[in-house]
Structure 1
Amino acid sequence: MSEPQSALLLRRQLKELSIHPVQGFSAGLHDDNIYEWDVMIVGPEGTLYEGGFFKARLSFPSSYPQAPPTMRFVTDMWHPNVYEDGRVCISILHEPGEDQWGYESAAERWLPVHTVETIVLSVISMLSSPNDESPANAKAAKEFRDDPAAFKKRVQRIVRRSEEDAFS
């Protein structure tokens, strides 16, 4: 029995990342399941998340790349665009097509040309530039806007904890 096209594509992307690693993150299979990937993101330089080691899980549907994966931080994360349960909320992970609320254009949403690399690079960009206008975590967005010092302090605690967890 042959593998589904989605599995073949994911194997190709995993191989490409192992041959040509991308600075800022690493990825590998979770429990040898081609549809579940563990990702380690290094907090981008010059951001509040700098120095952190953030673990996340990418879960791909069998209809990938026609449908987007979901991404959830396993490591604690305090960010306006990350739900309290760790789910990442960025445009390219939203189902393809027009946004029913008119906030995003179809071009900003999921397209089958996206890869694990483009997804994770978008998440790294999200860490660098939070969007508090369309928050997944309203409390984090409010703190980011209204009390930047408290937001920074909370993120610094998360970064320290992530460093400790990465090396323990």
Structure 2
Amino acid sequence: MSGSGGRRGSKRGHEEVSSGSSSSASSASSSAGNAKPKVMSTSLKRIQKELAEITLDPPPNCSAGPKNDNMYEWVSTILGPAGSVYEGGIFFLDIHFSADYPFKPPKVTFRTRIYHCNVNSHGVICLDILKDNWSPALTISKVLLSICSLLTDCNPADPLVGSIAAQYVQAREEHDRTARLWTKKYACGGSYPS
């Protein structure tokens, strides 16, 4: 009696598993119809891969990772490069990935105020790889390295703030003094600006 009951139970268990599988399959196919485009999953895989890489091997003086649990919203910190007018500063940046990433560039903005001809008062950065020269082969690590390079050598020929670019070219000492003051005032607190 117990043998047949065991078989019946195992057969019933098998039927439940089978029906559970078909139920799962049908719910998976119905949810696939409601799912976001495949680009979303491609972007998420790429973002997760870049997070693993930047966690294991971050660019010098940089860090980056998700803000809370949202993989599409990151926070980055860049330490002001030694020997630059930004030395000693801790600069926070927001990084926003779209569902089209890596086919479209991330949106990267300074949250910490910075006196720089290639960064405007809203934190927008004038950097060719964040616009027309973006390539899916680029990564957040490479973007952060480019931003660090911009902090060492600004590009007054392609400014977002013309007055700062003109001052950089025509009155470099005054420019450098102001940039150091801003770094001390806005970038030496070490906390994410609200």
Please say whether Structure 1 and Structure 2 have the same fold, judged by a TM-score greater than 0.5. Answer: yes
| Displacement after TM superposition at 1:163 (Å) | 4.7
Query: What runs of 5+ residues in structure 2 fail to find an aligned partner?
Result: 1-31
Stretches of 4+ moved more than 3 A in 1?
none
- 1:5-154 equivalence runs, <5 A: 5-95=42-132, 109-154=133-178
The percentage of aligned residue pairs carrying the same residue is 29
Query: Which whole-Å CA distance do the structure 1 matches of 2:165 and 2:96 have between them?
Result: 26
Aligned to 1:104: none
Q: Distance in 2 between matches of 1:35 and 1:146?
A: 41
SS in 1 for 2:88: coil
Q: CA deviation at 1:133?
A: 0.8
Counterparts of 2:144 and 2:72, CA distance in 1: 16
Shift of 1:16: 1.3
Deviation at 1:24, TM superposition (A): 1.1
Q: Which has the larger radius of gyration?
A: 2
Cα distance per residue 1:54-86 (max 9 Å; x no partner) = 001111111001000111100001111112211
Kindly state the Cα deviation for residue 167 of structure 1 after the two structures are TM-superposed.
6.3
Instruction: Determine helix, strand or coil for the equivalent of 1:77.
Output: coil
Q: Aligned partners of 1:164 and 1:78: how far apart in 2?
A: 14
How far apart are the structure 2 equivalents of 1:86 and 1:167?
16
Give the distance between the partners of 2:49 and 2:140, measured in 1 at CA: 11
How far the C-alpha of 1:159 sits from its partner, in A, is 1.7
Q: Which amino acid letter does the alignment assign opposite residue 17 of structure 1?
A: I
Stretches of structure 1 lacking an aligned partner (at least 5 in a row): 96-108
CA 1:85/1:163 → structure 2, altered by over 3 Å: closer, same or farther?
closer
The alignment partner of 1:39 has SS state of strand
SS in 2 for 1:38: strand
Question: RCO higher in 1 or 2 (8 Å CA, sep ≥ 6)?
Answer: 1
Output the TM-score relative to the length of structure 2. Answer: 0.75
Q: Report the Cα offset of residue 162 of structure 1.
A: 4.0
SS in 2 for 1:76: coil
Moved more, 121-130 or 29-38: 29-38
Asked if the contact 2:90/2:188 (under 8 Å) is kept, the reply is no
Letter in 1 for 2:89: G
Change (3 A) 1:156 1:22: same
CA contact (8 A) 1:27 1:39 kept: yes
In the superposition, the TM-score normalised over structure 1's length comes to 0.86
Matched residue SS, 1:164: coil
Q: Which has the higher helix share?
A: 2
